[in-house]
Amino acid sequence: MLLQIPDVLTPEETAECRRRLEAATWIDGNATAGHQSRLAKRNMQLAEDDPAAVEMGGLIASALAAHPLFVSAALPFKIFPPLFNKYEGGQNFGTHVDNAIRRSRVTGDQIRTDLSATLFFSDPDEYDGGELVVEDTYGVQRVKLRKGSMILYPASSLHHVTPVTRGARIASFFWIQSMVRDDGCRTLLFDMDTAIQRLAAADPLDASVVQLTGVYHNLLRRWAEV
């Protein structure tokens, strides 16, 4: 499943992060690249332990934990401390799959990357190119969102970022270990939760709502690893 999560941060939080990102110290993006992606990656990043990155990453993680759509879709168990990147002057990231396991240099914690996320800090009209292209099971998806919004997609997908030929594309990127490892099972739970919420809004006392909520939790109990 490939899902847009709108308004992860408020416009004020987004503007404040953007101000800090413009003043930040950028280093070669290959600092965090895996063996294969090192050959494909041409961008800049904030150091993982840069205090600004750690602080903004904390803000993003807190906002996500309180975002109902994100929680329903990702069923997060662990969120990798968000990283930050910038593409400009023709920079791009060729086709790759993200590493399955990542260890944070800041926390030392290790996670399995079930989902990949990109949270945009530049609006689409600020740059040309810079599309995130994801090869989903439903075909090729091209993604470019307004700032403050995020795309969530299976970390197992092949993906790339097209060259930025004008302006700069600034974003945060990170991974989520889900309580439900399998994308198909997670998608079923998300669809079911969405339908239950809709039914409950119409009639919260409906016996079917109670029964379906029970089925949801019993499937989650069957599939979740925590």
Say whether residue 131 binds Ni ion (CB under 5 A): no
DSSP 54-122: HHHHHHHHHHHHT-HHHHHHH-EEEEPPPEEEEEETT-EEEEE---SEEE-TTT--EEE--EEEEEE-S
Nearer to Ni ion, 163 or 192 (CB): 163
Inter-CA distances, 128 with 38, 52, 113, 114, 176, Å: 24, 27, 29, 30, 29
Q: Is 44 helix (H, G, I), strand (E, B) or coil?
A: strand
The separation between the first and the last C-alpha atoms of the chain, rounded to the nearest angstrom, is 22
Nearest to 156 by CA among 128, 184, 131: 184
Q: Which residue is nearest to Ni ion (CB)?
A: 98
Nearer to Ni ion, 153 or 190 (CB): 153
Say whether residue 98 binds Ni ion (CB under 5 A): yes
Q: Which amino acid is at 107?
A: T
* Smallest distance, Ni ion to C-beta of residue 94, A: 10
Nearer to Ni ion, 50 or 98 (CB): 98
Binding range to Ni ion, per CB under 5 A, among 21-29, 83-91, 97-105, 141-149? 97-105
Nearer to Ni ion, 98 or 131 (CB): 98
CA dihedral over 124, 128, 133, 139, signed as positive or negative: positive
* Smallest distance, Ni ion to C-beta of residue 93, A: 7
Binding range to Ni ion, per CB under 5 A, among 15-23, 80-88, 90-98, 203-211? 90-98
Say whether residue 114 binds Ni ion (CB under 5 A): no
Give the interface size with Ni ion as a residue count (CB under 5 A). Answer: 1
* Smallest distance, Ni ion to C-beta of residue 159, A: 6
**Chain residues that interact with Ni ion, rule: CB under 5 A:** 98
